[in-house]
């Protein structure tokens, strides 16, 4: 692949050029990464995209703007390879979720841009455990025992 882009650092984003009978259409890699990010995040089982710790700090401090966090794009002609870095929801089947992400991202990018997506590589970087949901799930299966009733029976 000729070019690899994964971040926007204030410079012009590279573009993918498609030639048609009416002229050229240029698609920014930022557009491709945005489509991929949204398609990945709307897939059941995906919690969010992963951002490295240094990038997250830089973005919070305002020294770096990361538009396409968790997405890396490689472009060559009219072919695109997409790498996605994800956090999966606890309880999701990791392999099934990753395959669903691959299919959803490939379909959306190809449909919206007309580009050929040759690969969607999914990197599962972590798992999110929702404590509130876990407590609700556990609470449904716990029998509540009235300790005071047991104490009264013992005293008699």
* Residue 85 confidence (pLDDT) above 70: yes
Instruction: Kindly state whether residue 142 falls inside one of the protein's structural domains.
Output: no
pLDDT tens, position by position, 102-125: 999 999 999 999 999 999 999 999
Instruction: Kindly state whether residue 71 falls inside one of the protein's structural domains.
Output: yes
Instruction: Kindly state whether residue 40 falls inside one of the protein's structural domains.
Output: yes
Q: List the one residue out of 117, 129, 125 whose CA is nearest residue 85.
A: 125
**pLDDT band for position 78 (50/70/90)?**
confident
pLDDT tens, position by position, 3-40: 444 444 434 445 666 667 788 888 888 999 999 999 99
Choose between 86 and 28: higher pLDDT.
86
The pTM of the full predicted model, rounded to 2 decimals, is 0.69
Q: How many domains does the chain have?
A: 1
Per the structure, the complete domain to which residue 123 belongs is given by 3-129
Instruction: Kindly state whether residue 151 falls inside one of the protein's structural domains.
Output: no
* Residue 68 confidence (pLDDT) above 90: no
Q: What is the CATH number of the domain that holds 62?
A: 3.30.70.1350
| Cα(105)–Cα(67) distance, integer angstroms | 17
Instruction: Kindly state whether residue 140 falls inside one of the protein's structural domains.
Output: no
Instruction: Kindly state whether residue 153 falls inside one of the protein's structural domains.
Output: no
**What sign has the CA pseudo-torsion 68, 71, 74, 79?**
negative
* Residue 93 confidence (pLDDT) above 90: yes
Paired with 119 in beta bridges are 81
Instruction: Kindly state whether residue 144 falls inside one of the protein's structural domains.
Output: no
**What sign has the CA pseudo-torsion 54, 55, 56, 60?**
positive
């Amino acid at each position: 692949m000729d070019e690899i882009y994964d971040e926007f650092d204030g410079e012009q984003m590279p573009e993918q050029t498609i030639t048609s009978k009416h002229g050229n259409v240029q698609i920014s890699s930022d557009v491709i990464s945005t489509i991929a990010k949204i398609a990945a995040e709307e897939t059941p089982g995906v919690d969010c995209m992963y951002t490295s710790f240094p990038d997250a700090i830089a973005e919070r401090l305002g020294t770096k703007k990361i538009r396409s966090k968790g997405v890396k794009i490689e472009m060559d002609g009219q072919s695109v390879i997409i790498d996605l870095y994800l956090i999966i929801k606890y309880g999701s089947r990791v392999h099934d979720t990753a395959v669903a992400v691959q299919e959803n991202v490939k379909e959306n990018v190809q449909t919206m841009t007309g580009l050929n997506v040759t690969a969607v590589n999914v990197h599962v970087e972590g798992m999110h455990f929702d404590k509130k949901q876990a407590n609700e799930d556990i609470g449904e299966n716990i029998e509540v025992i009235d300790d005071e009733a047991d104490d009264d029976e013992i005293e008699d």
